[in-house]
Structure 1
């Protein structure tokens, strides 16, 4: 009897956790709320995208994860991994980590549910449509252990689905004087157009 009561209480408590859209803030709420992609705005970002220029390529694979616990609350988010080949040499390849299930999915090299409009102060978009949403995140370089801003825009060019990305503002990276400065950021900075595969 006690087990049944405890089970009902736990289900009742879980059902009372607030569900918010990913555009809302859970600030001030107790742990356990759920930031849900109510309008499926993250869905268009899912997929495999690749930029190729000669023997240099940059491939990103993005997957939507639903109701992932990050240690404080549940959230829907996009996670991703990538491969960067420069002049035929693989500089970074984290694609094998895409299916790794971490206790907090925010460990992936790309992770976000922060959607921004065309007037986003850090990266305004004059060519974006009025209600268009872009995904703002960071990208982690496992070689230098540095992060950079990454903003992604899904659009169509010449009838082809593409992802326009901008990688900018790499972090300085923390280091000890005896170790010297951190390694150079391994990924290409600037804007690239990746074609959906």
Structure 2
């Protein structure tokens, strides 16, 4: 009898675990049970995958992005975009994390140079987009300068300009750094900020 009861409990636990809640990536997970899954049901993240390059005079920023399915984030799972980058200024490579792209970390969101999955509508105050189509979706992720440790928002919009696939991007909202007098000054954010257009390779 005791064995039968224990087997029943195990079966019920397995059943409920397999019935975890799946919600769309555009929905908040607030109030959902542990183990829920924010899934990219409409494949909004797919179009952002790829290699993009921004060049302006002596500056060049290369970014490689890819979509990762059902990644553990805290006590639940999410589809996310991860990425890495290379920044060159005056012919000198300032930073290059591209070799980390295919490393599988236990927490992809925290470890990669670029990661996230925030969906932006065209009326968001984060980045107004009067030229966007009414139902167009954009994406916001976070980008970390691996040298200084400073984080920033990386907002992305996929579009076509003069027949060329491009990503319009914006890097802003740099995180504050704490500096105590008598210690070395913190390093400045090494990547370009502001708005720019990146060509898809």
Q: Does the TM-score normalized on the shorter chain lie above 0.5? A: yes
**TM class by shorter-chain length?**
over 0.9
Match of 2:153 among 149, 154, 175: 149
1:69-96 deviation per Cα after TM superposition (whole angstroms, max 9, x unaligned): 1131011010111011111111111111
Cα distance between partner residues in 1 of 2:180 and 2:102:
34
Q: Deviation at 1:29? A: 1.8
Aligned residue in 2 for 1:121: 125
The structure-2 alpha-carbon separation of the partners of 1:133 and 1:104, relative to structure 1 and needing over 3 Å to count, comes to same
Higher alpha-carbon deviation: 126-135 or 50-59: 50-59
CA contact (8 A) 2:59 2:89 kept: yes
Count of matched residue positions in the alignment of Structure 1 and Structure 2: 197
CA distance in 2, matches of 1:91, 1:171: 20
Is 2:44 the partner of 1:60?
no
Structure 1 position 10, deviation (Å): 5.0
The answer on 1:14 being equivalent to 2:20 is: no
| TM-score after normalising by structure 1 | 0.92
Unpaired runs of 5+ in structure 1? Answer: none
**CA–CA separation in structure 2 for the residues paired with 1:110 and 1:9:** 39
Residue in structure 1 matched with residue 191 of structure 2 by the alignment:
187
Larger Rg computed on CA atoms: 2
**1:158-177 paired onto structure 2 within 5 Å:** 158-177=162-181
Structure 2 gap segments, 5+ residues each: none
Aligned to 1:34: 37
Instruction: Normalising by structure 2, report the TM-score.
Output: 0.90
- State whether residues 70 and 103 of structure 1, in contact with CA within 8 Å, keep that contact through their aligned partners in structure 2: no
Q: Is the 8 A contact 1:60 1:81 kept in 2?
A: yes
Q: CA deviation at 1:180?
A: 3.6
State the secondary structure of the residue aligned to 2:166.
Answer: strand
Whether the 8 Å contact between 2:21 and 2:33 is mirrored in structure 1 is no
- What is the alpha-carbon distance in structure 2 between the residues aligned to residue 13 and residue 190 of structure 1? 47
CA distance in 2, matches of 1:10, 1:91: 51
Matched residues in 2 for 1:153 and 1:135: separation? 7
Secondary structure in 1 aligned to 2:182?
Answer: coil
Secondary structure at 2:33's aligned position in 1?
coil
